[in-house]
Chain A
Amino acid sequence: MIPVILVISMCIFGIIKLAPGSPVGTNLDPRATPEQKAIERERLGLDDPMHIQYAKWLGRVAEGDLGKSFIYQKPVKDVIGTYLKNTFILNIPVFILAFGISIPVGIHSAVKRYSVFDNFWTVFSLIGLSLPSFFFGLLLIYTFAVKLKILPINGMIEAGSDSTGFAYALEVTKHMVLPGIVMTIGSLASYVRYTRNGMLEVIHQDYIRTARAKGLNEKVVIYKHAFRNALLPIVTLLGYSLIFLLSGSVITESIFNWPGMGRVLLESVTMRDYNLMMAIMMLYAILTLIGNLLADIGYALVDPRVKVD
């Protein structure tokens, strides 16, 4: 895994270096003299050969120095720390809802294939997968926030609010509803299909026929014998959804102006805050790898045929 991370860091470094504009301009006052600019170039090591620059950067990162954010004029670490929290606040309920709904629905759809229930969710998935999340978000804002005025338009809390404790939690929850709906429906659309397919594959296996031949109750056959096997693909989905949700929230956070990592990434990209950009991309990459690792571990735990190595 370590070599992969190294190569990824090289790629990120390379991509950022491709970008126009230089950190000198962003770090200094535009009225700086050429001598001041030269000193800054020296300090940032911009005239060093590329691999030296990379090594220096990597060294700094290893020590925990992610540089300073030009937009926020604070250490990148602090910026990420603050806003990552908010992304989790939004994503965790979505995660729980999405899996809490899709697993039972998937099981029931598979067992009662082609029933009205199953057909409804098939249509639901189709629509959910085809509707662009940004458009869906706009429609929700238009309907509930503007026309019906029952939910806030955007942000995580009311502008200028200083509520604390329970009132604060209530405010955040209200603001979470619309973006939460957008993200939950988007994930449900694919998760339901995935669990349904996983369950369908299992239900037609020979060992389910054996379970029935043993005289077992149908509920036991489905929820114990079948589901335990369908758990295998579900566990891998759980692992992958870590990064799936995190990256999916980029658009949602942008539309709803939710102060999370996704919105910060967009800001850093449009305003060329390179330190921030690099750090966030590295973070995403590492989270992806962690998610994959979790998926693998989960799979090994649940499937006795897999040896842990």
Chain B
Amino acid sequence: MLKTNDTAVAVDVNKAQNESIEGPWQMAWKRFRKNKLAMAGGIILILLILGAVFAPLISPYTLDHMDYTQINKPPSAQHWLGTDQLGRDYLTRMLHGSRISLQVGVFAVLISVVLGSLIGGIAGYYGGWVDNLCMRIVEIVMSFPFLPLAITVSAVVGARLPAEFKMYITMMVIGLLSWTGLARMIRGQILSLREQEFMQAAKALGLSDKRIILKHLLPNTVAYIIVSATLGMAGAIMTESALSFLGLGVAPPTPTWGNMVQNARDFYILTNRPWLWMPPGIAIFLTVMSINLLGDGLRDALDPKTK
């Protein structure tokens, strides 16, 4: 083995270009900023969240305010989105509806991300019979088509509990049925990361297991988790609205966009009172679209190879 001299270290002569070294997160943020659609999606989402958070403050009326002189009125100066069959201001209901829809979306995703990461992480890290068991569970959950299963479980569980709990039931059902994709991905990530050369390098350098997990494995999976959570939220909101529309999710009088569209099941309302079912539908569409744009933008920014 030839010894190398201290002075034989190469000197970088390209100082004229002044290239700065960026970390992967800064590079990702830069890529993301360039994606105008994704930024637009993010901004719309922030506005929606603000609207939801401050709904009680910005709503023109209170949620249960019923004006019997103003039943079923189309949009007017007094009621920007009209009123429903109980004289409630529809704009108010829409704003409050956003709270529920977004809440269910966020919590359902939280549940599925936590479950998915845990199970995927445990399966990938420990391997052996633990891995086998976890993957069998994943297989079984995935053997059912999502929507029919969500419908069945929502109905069965919902029938056993009082109506106030329906929102939480919906959150749980969606969360408990959506974690499998992420679990598989994280398990796959961890399995491949374990074999990769930088892991062997880390071990050769003598890093402890915990440090390896925290500083090397986790950051690689975080990107997946962020993208999965964002896109998962879009799915959760869609599912909640579908379930509520079918009468199996959140039930009136609690407003959610899904059960507000449900009004259209009444043929007369469908035909003659479009302000009762179009705005919530459009709201769902805009929300899901902006989340999808945001999620796609995040995905492209965090892993440009998949463009």
Contact = CB atoms under 8 A, between A and B. Distances in A.
A20 B160 contact: yes
Interface string A6-21: 0110010001101111
A154 to B, nearest CB: 10
A139 B279 CA distance: 12
A222 interface: no
Nearest to B155: A269
A237 interface: no
A135 B284 contact: yes
B298 interface: no
B148 A265 contact: yes
B153 A4 contact: no
Contact of B242 (A127, A134, A153, A284): A134
B185 interface: no
A243 B146 CA distance: 10
A142 interface: yes
A132 interface: yes
Interface in A266-301: 266, 269-270, 272, 277, 280-281, 284-285, 288-289
B213 to A, nearest CB: 30
Contact of B143 (A4, A153, A247, A270): A4
Residue in B143, B241, B261, B292 whose Cβ sees the most chain A Cβ within 10 Å: B143
A120 interface: no
A153 to B, nearest CB: 8
B156 A132 contact: no
Contacts of B149: 281, 284
Interface stretch (A59-67, A97-105, A165-173, A248-256): A248-256
Nearest to B307: A200
Contact of B148 (A131, A133, A146, A280): A280
A132 B274 contact: no
B250 to A, nearest CB: 15
B281 A11 contact: no
A130 B148 CA distance: 20
A127 to B, nearest CB: 7
Contacts of A211: none
Contact of B247 (A141, A270, A289): A270
A208 B6 CA distance: 47
Interface string B230-260: 0000100010011001111000000000000
B281 A146 contact: no
Interface string A140-166: 011000100000010000000000000
B293 A126 contact: yes
Contacts of B284: 132, 135
Contacts of A153: 267
A4 B289 contact: no
B140 interface: yes
Interface string B184-225: 000000000000000000000000000000000000000000
A19 B156 CA distance: 5
Contacts of A72: none
Nearest to B243: A251
B277 interface: yes
Interface string B263-307: 010010011001001100100110011001100100000000010
- Going nearest first, the 7 A-B pairs with the smallest beta carbon separation are A247-B145, A135-B281, A130-B289, A130-B288, A269-B155, A19-B156, A138-B264
A171 to B, nearest CB: 21
Contact of A132 (B151, B238, B267): B238
14 contacts: A8-B144, A19-B156, A130-B292, A132-B261, A132-B288, A134-B245, A247-B146, A247-B147, A247-B148, A251-B242, A269-B155, A284-B145, A285-B143, A288-B142
A269 B248 contact: yes
B5 to A, nearest CB: 41
A130 B234 contact: yes
A206 B144 CA distance: 39
A251 B246 contact: yes
A15 B152 contact: yes
Contacts of A262: 148
B156 A15 contact: yes
A15 B151 CA distance: 12
A24 interface: no
Given A20-B160, A138-B270, A281 B144 contact: yes
A134 B306 CA distance: 31
Nearest to B267: A153
B157 interface: yes
A207 interface: no
Contact of A7 (B140, B145, B285, B306): B140
B159 interface: yes
A244 interface: yes
Given A132-B242, A270-B155, A139 B281 contact: yes
A230 interface: no
A23 to B, nearest CB: 14
A146 B152 contact: no
Contacts of B289: 126-127, 130
B139 interface: yes
A15 B242 CA distance: 21
A141 B270 contact: yes
Contact of A284 (B148, B241, B270, B281): B148
Given A269-B248, A270-B247, A8 B140 contact: yes
